[in-house]
């Protein structure tokens, strides 16, 4: 990733309870790390010589949105203009499943139009990411 021309943001539904917000952000971050392992830095060592696993090498601002806005962003990400962006979404369907197998089975029977997105993370060209999220405020 060329950090000068690339950007990564996370958008979380600000109306969710804090625990669900935190869960959504954690799931999105873990999945992003799987999709873009090169963004995770090398392990580091403190002065005592104790090791600490590497973390992401650039900031990921967490922005506030709502279900409708996140849905709109997700729909735009299906357009050819944004096809080169990496996007990870997290829906109410995923959050409500107890196992991954249950999630897989339920997704097979659920049209995308019925999903309510709790959050999304988008990484890629700065101009395109800004076009989708540039006017959004930080989640506080």
Q: Domain locations in the chain?
A: 6-133
Identify the pLDDT of residue 4. Answer: 75
The CATH class of the 6-133 domain is: alpha beta
pLDDT tens digits, one per residue of 1-35? 666 788 999 999 999 999 999 999 999 999 999 99
The answer for 81, left when phi > 0, alpha when psi is -120 to 50, beta otherwise, is alpha
Q: Enter the pTM of the model.
A: 0.91
Strands (E) located in the chain: 6-13, 44-45, 51-52, 62-65, 86-91, 117-125
The answer for 66, left when phi > 0, alpha when psi is -120 to 50, beta otherwise, is beta
- Residue 75 is classified by DSSP as H
């Amino acid at each position: 990733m060329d950090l000068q021309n690339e950007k990564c943001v996370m958008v979380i539904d600000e109306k969710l309870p804090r625990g669900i917000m935190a869960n959504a952000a954690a799931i999105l971050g873990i999945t992003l790390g799987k999709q873009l392992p090169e963004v995770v830095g090398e392990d580091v060592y403190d002065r005592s010589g104790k090791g600490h696993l590497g973390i992401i090498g650039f900031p990921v601002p967490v922005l506030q949105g709502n279900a409708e806005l996140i849905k709109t962003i997700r729909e735009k990400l299906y357009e050819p203009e944004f096809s080169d962006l990496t996007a990870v979404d997290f829906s109410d369907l995923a959050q409500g499943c107890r196992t991954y197998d249950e999630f897989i089975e339920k997704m097979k029977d659920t049209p995308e139009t019925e999903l309510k997105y709790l959050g999304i993370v988008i990484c890629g060209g700065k101009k395109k990411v800004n076009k989708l999220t540039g006017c959004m405020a930080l989640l506080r």
